[in-house]
Amino acid sequence: MSTFWLSLACLLWSAQVRGVHQGPSNAFSKMLLALNPANARSSSSNARAARAAPAKAFVTEKSDAIFAEAKTLMPGGVSSPVRAFKSVGGNPIVVEKVKGAYMWDVDGNKYIDYVGTWGPAIIGHADDVVLDALKKQLDSGTSFGAPCALENELAKMVIEAVPSVEMVRFTNSGTEACMGMLRLVRTFTKREKVVKFEG
């Protein structure tokens, strides 16, 4: 997950190992303090201020409550296994809003998003140009279940951006894209076995 969730899981795990609720020596809490845009100092003065400032308590009560309810509604409490945090411990945070490179959870904690929605938000969240285009398209509808001219425009943009690509197939997820690729490769090579690497 070069992704937000893995990064966050690592940060939370690291903070838990170091003792996230043990006062000013808490590195994770200090990092949260440094995210405050009001502290627009040089990185060295930010570091000094973080060392001198009292640690901000990292609270996830609302996230924990929402996740507890979600576990009664969805298997594992999530719509995707990678959001469950089972392999790293702890509970997932529940995101309330996003903008640019940042996200905020329902408890008001601010995070740097290293994931970008697993790739699609590569220019950041809620970009004004993208939002304006979405609002314009909403008036025409959001899901046709049929071809539309915008698919051609997007396909041309992808083909132009990636020289080795001759044609594209759009999918709903990375999982669906990989499944389609495996079917294509098995059909083309006439070989059934697939080697999978893990780790």
Tell me the whole-structure pTM to 2 decimals: 0.58
d(Cα 85, Cα 72) in Å, to the nearest integer? 17
pLDDT digits (tens, 9 = 90+) for 12-44: 444 444 444 444 334 444 444 444 444 444 455
d(Cα 159, Cα 13) in Å, to the nearest integer? 41
The counts of H helices and E strands in the chain are 7, 3
Average pLDDT on 37-64 reads: 66
The CATH class for the domain spanning 4-20+58-112 reads: alpha beta
Domain ranges of the chain: 4-20+58-112, 143-189
pLDDT digits (tens, 9 = 90+) for 133-167: 999 999 999 888 899 999 999 999 999 999 999 99
Q: Specify whether the CB–CB gap between 125 and 83 falls below 8 A.
A: no
| 115 or 26, which is more confident | 115
pLDDT digits (tens, 9 = 90+) for 63-77: 999 999 999 999 988
- Listed in sequence order, the residues at least 6 apart from 99 whose beta carbon sits closer than 8 Å to its beta carbon are 124, 125, 126
What DSSP designation does 118 have? T
